[in-house]
Amino acid sequence: MILDTVKAADTAQRSRGRRTARLGALGTLGLTILVLVAAILLWQLGTTLNPSVYFPAPSVIAAAAGALFFSGDPATLFVTDAVSVDVFSTLWRLLLGFVIGSAVGIGFGAAIGRSRALREVSDPIVEFLRAIPATATLPLFIILMGGEDAMRVAFIAYGTMWFVLINTARGVASVHPTLIDMGHIFRLPKAVVLFKIVLPAASPKIFAGLRIALTAALLLAVVSELLVATNGIGYRLVQAQASFNLVQMWAWMVALAVLGFLLNAVLEAVERRALRWDTQARG
C-alpha cells in the first residue's frame, strides 16, 4: 500500500514536471514570436517612413522570397530550382561536413580526454591549429582539392571538428574517476566503459560543442560557396550582390536564417531527448 502511494506520488510529480516544462517551452516560444513580430513591424514602419534601397521593407522581401522559392511547377509542389538545387546543395554539404567533423572530433577528443600523456602532447598542436580561423584555410583547401564538392565538405568538416574535439576532450577528462573505477570493478571491456559510461557522462559538453559546430558548419558552407562555386546559397548571394539585386540578396539571407533556425531546433530536440536524464538539459 505504501509502495503504491509512493509510486503514485512520484508519477504525479513527474507529470507536473512535464506539464511545467511544456508550459515553459510554450511561453518561451510565444515570447520569441512576439519579439520577432514586433521587430518586423518596426522594420516595416521604418522603411515606410524612410525608404532605403539597401534596406527593403519586410513585405517586399517576403514577396521576393515567395517568387524566388515557391513559384515553381505544381508537379514539384511549387518549389523552384532555388530550393531543390541551391538550398539543398548547401544543406547536404553542411550536414555531411558536420557529421564527418563531429565524428572525427568525438573520436580524437575522447582519446585525448582519456589519456593524460596524449593530452599533454597534443594540447600545443591543437591550440596552434585551432587558433587559425577556418575561413583563412579555404585557399589552401582550394589549392589541394580543387573547387568541387569534396573540397567544400572537407573544409566544413575541418572547421567544425575543433569545436567538438575540444568539448569532447574536456567532457571526457572531467568524468568522475569513480564511474570509470566501477566499470573496472565489474571487469567491463574498455569499449563498454567508453561507450556506456564515459561518453554518456560527457555528453552534455559534447552536445555543447555540437551546437557550436552546427552553426559554424552553416557559416563555412556559405563561405565555401563564395568562391569557385556554381550553386548554393553563398553562390546565389554573390550573384545577387554582383547584379545589385538587393531584394533577392535579402531573400537569400532570410532563407539562410530560416535554415539555421530549423537545424538548431532539430539538434536541440535531439539533445533534449538524449539528455532527458540530465537536469541541466531539462532546465
Indicate whether 65 pLDDT > 90: yes
- Global pTM reads 0.85
| pLDDT (0 to 100) of residue 263 | 95
Q: Which residues contact 196 (CB under 8 A, 6 or more apart)?
A: 183, 188
| pLDDT (0 to 100) of residue 22 | 63
Please count the other Cβ atoms lying within 10 Å of the Cβ belonging to residue 184.
Answer: 10
Q: Which residues contact 179 (CB under 8 A, 6 or more apart)?
A: 197, 198, 201
DSSP state of 84: I
- Band (pLDDT 50/70/90 cuts) for residue 47 is confident
CA 245 to chain CA centroid, nearest Å: 29
Mean pLDDT within 261-265: 93
| pLDDT (0 to 100) of residue 18 | 57
Q: What percent of the chain clears pLDDT 90, i.e. is strictly above it?
A: 55
| pLDDT (0 to 100) of residue 281 | 45
Which residue type occupies 255?
A
User: How far is it, in rounded angstroms, from Cα 58 to Cα 39?
Assistant: 10
Q: How crowded is the C-beta side of 186, counted as CA atoms within 13 Å?
A: 12
Mean pLDDT within 73-86: 88
Tell me the DSSP string of 110-152. HHHHH-HHHHHHHHHHHHHHHTS-GGGGHHHHHHHHTTSHHHH
User: How far is it, in rounded angstroms, from Cα 265 to Cα 178?
Assistant: 35
Q: How far is CA 225 from CA 30, 91, 141, 231, in A?
A: 35, 12, 13, 7
| pLDDT (0 to 100) of residue 130 | 86
User: Among 7-21, 106-120, 184-198, which is the least confidently predicted range?
Assistant: 7-21
| pLDDT (0 to 100) of residue 53 | 86
- Band (pLDDT 50/70/90 cuts) for residue 25 is low
Query: Residue 96 region, left (φ>0) first, then alpha (ψ -120 to 50), else beta?
Result: alpha
pLDDT per residue as tens digits for the range 125-147: 888 988 899 999 999 999 999 88
pLDDT per residue as tens digits for the range 154-167: 999 999 999 999 99
Indicate whether 13 pLDDT > 60: no
pLDDT per residue as tens digits for the range 177-209: 888 878 778 888 888 888 888 899 999 999 999
**Domain map of the chain by residue range?**
1-51, 56-282
Please give the CATH number for the structural domain made up of 56-282: 1.10.3720.10
Is 97 within 8 Å of 89 (Cβ atoms)? no
| pLDDT averaged over every residue in the chain | 87
| pLDDT (0 to 100) of residue 28 | 73
- Terminal CA-to-CA distance of the chain, rounded, Å? 33
